[in-house]
Amino acid sequence: MEAKNLRVSRQRLKFSLERMAKIGATDGGGVHRLALSDEDKQARDLFLKWLKELDLTVRVDEMGNIFGKRKGRSPRLPIVLTGSHIDSQPQGGRFDGILGVMGALEVLRTIQENHIETERPVMIVNWTNEEGTRFPPAMAGSGVWTGTLNRDWVYRQADIQGKKLGGELARIGYKGRQPARKWPVHAYYELHIEQGPILEKEGKRIGVPRGILGLNWYDVDIEGKANQVGPTPMEGRNDALCAAAEMILKVNELPGRMGENLVATVGEIHNSPNSRNIIPGRVHFTVDIRSWDDDLSLRAWEELKRDFGRISKKRGCPTILAETWQVEHASFDESLVKRVGETAQRLGFSTHFMVSGAGHDASYVNQVAPAAMIFVPSIGGRSHVEVENTKWEDCEAGANVLLHCVLQSALEK
Ligand code: GLV
Ligand code: MN
Ligand code: MN
């Protein structure tokens, strides 16, 4: 068959996604497949089995990133890379990340069964720990691979139980030998669900992101004075949770104060000792600030630091702030963005140009190679939750756009 007439198989893509969704399936219809957990290992094992059935050259690097390469006529030319991530949020959805990995697999299966020869090698990737929910930071596998994050620093990152990322990588058998180091990439494409409401609202099939917002993560630790709640008068208390409550509202109000061109969220909090009859003695919470305007994000944090300082003093609760992770906004390669839009239109799909509020490995890859993404609608704009959903026909449409973008880049000399 002529390459331009190729189409992926919706049934096979659906089967792969449904099979993966069984690993870490939750009662509420989502998945719980945290990075480097037993569920992540099971999904990786299945992914590897499927890669080997396709006769790809498979390698696992020291960050646990999994690559599968299909030969091209010119093995020395920079490759075309496509993929996403297998890990999920806690009680997360069945499409975030895995659609980009199964979509890429479907593309390779389609190219392979039709005996299409490409000029350049085509490679599929599963990046380790994209979510960053168990081990901050997010996008850790791609961040080390591109040379932006330090491998040993990432290995030392610990989860809430104190388990280190490096140790967990070895425990599940995915601490590979290959150095996690970038090599020349001609084009990187990542298929993903939108994770927001815009495509549905606009009634459009394919989202064409021009780039990704900058992400800024912070950690806040508040020290109060724990005590018995009954006998301790209200006056003179050092209640760490009350200090946190005031600070969290400051975070929520910040975008309104600064002109709305950013979003700011506290998503994780740990209160200690977390007993109904003890005044909270210690609180840890996280802050996530995102904007296309990197300076605005930094100014927002400066503003918060001042607010937090005032609250900490007023409540007599010393507070430690840590700047955990920062990624500047990513502006994708214009010619690849154009290609995604034109390819979608040629295939008969309506398109909408936008920016991504969610972080993706494409953000790091974009720092070292031309990158672009393909979005498909999220039903009800819901993501990172069990009800996350996307129509199968939209998954198929996105995979077909991916197929033809990959083919165009891989046929280039
Ligand atoms: C990753 O999913 C993020 O946007 O935080
Ligand atoms: Mn994702
Ligand atoms: Mn996610």
| Tens-place pLDDT, residues 296-332 | 999 999 999 999 999 999 999 999 999 999 999 999 9
Q: Give the closest residue (by CA) to ligand 1 atom 5.
A: 359
- Find the 296 Cα to ligand 2 centroid distance in Å: 24
- Find the 131 Cα to ligand 1 centroid distance in Å: 6
Confidence of residue 124 (pLDDT cuts 50, 70, 90): very high
Query: Does ligand 1 lie within 6 Å of residue 140's CB atom?
Result: no
d(CA 51, CA 57): 8
What's the pLDDT score for residue 259?
82
Query: Does ligand 1 lie within 6 Å of residue 138's CB atom?
Result: yes
d(CA 285, CA 190): 31
What's the pLDDT score for residue 2?
84
Asked if residues 4 and 111 have their Cβ atoms less than 8 Å apart, the reply is no
Query: Does ligand 1 lie within 6 Å of residue 131's CB atom?
Result: yes
Q: Give the closest residue (by CA) to ligand 1 atom 1.
A: 359
Query: What is the position in ligand 1's atom list of the atom closest to the CA of 89?
Result: 2
- Is residue 129 scored above 80 in pLDDT? yes
What's the pLDDT score for residue 1?
76
State pTM to two decimals: 0.97
Confidence of residue 6 (pLDDT cuts 50, 70, 90): very high
- Is residue 260 scored above 90 in pLDDT? no
